[in-house]
Amino acid sequence: MNKTKLIFIFILLILFITTTEAFQRRQRHQYNQQQQRQQQKPQNQGLDYYKLFGVKKNASEKEIRKAFKKLSIKYHPDKNQENAEEAQSKFAEIANAYEVLMDPEQRKIYDQFGEQGIKEGRGRQQQQNMNHQDMFSQFFRQGGGGGGFNFNMGGGQQQQKQNLFEKSDVFELNMEKIRYFYRRNEVWLIFFYKSTNIHERKTQECIDIIKELATKFYGIFKVAAIDCEEEDALCEEEFQAYHYPIFMAYESNSLQPGHNFNKDVSYKTLAGFAISKMENFVRYLNIDNYNDFITQDPQQEKAIIFTRSKSAPPLIKAFSKELRGKMSFGIVRSEDFELMKKFNFQEKDLPVLLVLTDAQNFQGEKYEGEFDKDRVMTFLRPYAYSSLKKQSQPKEPKLFRLTQKLSKQGGVCGKTDKTYCFLTIYDKNHTQEKEIIDILESLADKYIDEQISFYYIEKNNIEFPNLFEDGDCDDFPSAFIIKGKRNKYRKFRQNSFHISFLETFVDDTLSGGGNYIELYDTIKGNIFDTYEDAKINTDL
């Protein structure tokens, strides 16, 4: 019995040793394989997308989306102008990683084989060659065609959500449009809210107030709104806005931090808050310093606002900044009786805006009409820009009616034209030519030193279906900026043919922004092809 037990124990011992050795061999084999994979990983798997975004491998789409937005803000082209190439390369990298991780099939391939597993057949060279701003716009374009990513999280219900600021002058700020904020040259008053709270009384009151402010102060300061439900990363990372609704004001200098609004919300308090951040280049005048004012900067015309107000009206502040270096502005308050008397004005006549034509004898041209920014600018412009002509060789604004004769000479807007071509097509049944000319004259004056020319043509004198994409000439007036040499164009897509929107469109183009569409043919090959017998003025 004892002998049998010993044999049994001996057999068990042998089995244990054999099993242990087999297990150890298997572990050593697995360890060696793991070490080999670790050594090969840097060469074979490439960039770690999860590490790039700072998320775990099992991160949700929401977490990846938020991380991508944060990095996109960090590497935005307008925030990295000194290191543009490095920023562009970094954004291309995170954009590619985002595209992979947000595609379930691509993500499976990446998780199994790494970056190398998805490189073939992805056509990434196109992205690498894109303009940085084009790339950014593509990834954050909201709705419509043309690709890009939609960051809404709720499907159909989100897509049908109410557009709070449609048909208002409030600028809706989001990731795609953030470049306009970075390039601002005016005060911005921004309203931060959540669309899930729009039915709350406080939020609704704020919405009503900013709509009124946006209309009243259009062109004086910008009124914008951000839906922090949709743009959480933008609100938190760029603006440090964490509770809603709130207001912040940003000065025209993009380096200055924002100012928090801490008073009770009302039309008056918010207007005063924004106005207080405006730059002011208006000089306060009285009988003692009037002569200094009219003799300083003799090459500039002088404008004076006579007012009951204690401070410069915001409209005049805006003009003093916009026309700085072209026109000098002064303010005479109603209590400055001596100077008021010299100009033969009484308090009941105020406000009065006067451009001095004979400063020594207190004479000038009086503005007649409503104090609307566009109308006042129309009045001031001839004086402001005439002073520029005194300082340098006169330049003619580059504004032309596009005629058959003009289109066939000199490669206007064609493949030999190296400048930008701004083309407006209008319908004479709905818009008078003079209205178009007035607007384009303003643009041509403003951009007189830029490489851009302005043209206009009545719709019946152009065969546009063979020139632009379908639908791009269905509404009038239509405006396009054409790169003739590259045979591409951009469409002005605002509903309002307003000077400030057009200026933003031109500024964005001249600074390298925007996406371009291929022309179907050259301008020269399409103008008048169908309507050769149209009765047009062929004068240049």
Is the pLDDT score of 405 beyond 80? no
Give the SS3 label for residue 330: strand
- What is the per-residue pLDDT for 244? 92
Does residue 113 sit in the same domain as residue 56? Answer: yes
What is the CATH number for 354?
A: 3.40.30.10
Does residue 364 sit in the same domain as residue 439? Answer: no
Does residue 469 sit in the same domain as residue 382? Answer: no
Q: Between these two residues, 429 and 223, which has the higher pLDDT value? A: 223
Residues ≥6 apart with Cβ < 8 Å to 311: none
Q: How far apart are CA 89 and CA 104, in angstroms?
A: 25
Does residue 372 sit in the same domain as residue 417? Answer: no
Q: CA gyration radius for the chain?
A: 32
Does residue 319 sit in the same domain as residue 419? Answer: no
Torsion (CA) 34, 35, 37, 43 in degrees, nearest 10? 160
Range 254-262 contact pairs with CB under 8 angstroms and sequence separation of 24 or more: 254/182, 254/183, 254/184, 258/190
pTM: 0.60
Does residue 471 sit in the same domain as residue 431? Answer: yes
Identify the weakest region by mean pLDDT among 4-18, 371-385, 526-540.
Answer: 526-540
Report, as an integer, the average pLDDT of 381-410.
71
Strand 452-458, strand 420-426: pairing: parallel
Q: How far apart are CA 86 and CA 314, in angstroms?
A: 41
Give the chain's length.
540
- Asked if residue 331 belongs to a domain, the reply is yes
Of 237, 260, 277, which closes a domain? 277
What is the CATH number for 64?
A: 1.10.287.110
- What is the per-residue pLDDT for 1? 56
Picking from 458, 399, 457, 453, the residue whose alpha carbon sits closest to that of residue 421 is: 453
Does residue 299 sit in the same domain as residue 357? Answer: yes
- Asked if residue 536 belongs to a domain, the reply is no
Buried b or exposed e, range 53-87, using 16+ CB within 10 angstroms: bebeeebeeeebbbbbbbbbbebbbbbbeeeeeeb
Does residue 429 sit in the same domain as residue 456? Answer: yes
- Asked if residue 15 belongs to a domain, the reply is no
Q: How far apart are CA 444 and CA 399, in angstroms?
A: 6
Q: What is the pLDDT of residues 69-92, one digit of tens each?
A: 888 777 776 677 667 677 777 878
- Asked if residue 163 belongs to a domain, the reply is no
296 with 323: CB under 8 angstroms? no
- Asked if residue 531 belongs to a domain, the reply is no
Does residue 406 sit in the same domain as residue 506? Answer: yes
Is the pLDDT score of 151 beyond 50? no
Identify the weakest region by mean pLDDT among 215-224, 484-493, 518-527.
Answer: 518-527
Does residue 314 sit in the same domain as residue 266? Answer: no
Does residue 340 sit in the same domain as residue 253? Answer: no
Domain count, the chain: 4
Of 96, 115, 139, which closes a domain? 139
Of 363, 388, 413, which closes a domain? 388
- C-alpha 540: how far from its chain's center? 35
Number of other residues whose CB lies within 10 A of the CB of residue 414? 19
- Asked if residue 373 belongs to a domain, the reply is yes
HEC sequence for 88-127: HHHHHHHHHHHHHHCCHHHHHHHHHHCCHHHHCCCCCHHH
- Asked if residue 147 belongs to a domain, the reply is no
Give the domain range for residue 370: 283-388
Does residue 429 sit in the same domain as residue 501? Answer: yes
- C-alpha 483: how far from its chain's center? 20
Angle between helices 61-74 and 84-101 (to 10 degrees): 170
The residue type at 242: Y
Strand 452-458, strand 399-401: pairing: parallel
- Asked if residue 180 belongs to a domain, the reply is yes
Q: What percent of the chain has pLDDT over 70?
A: 77
Q: What is the pLDDT of residues 303-346, one digit of tens each?
A: 999 999 999 999 999 999 999 999 999 999 999 999 999 999 99
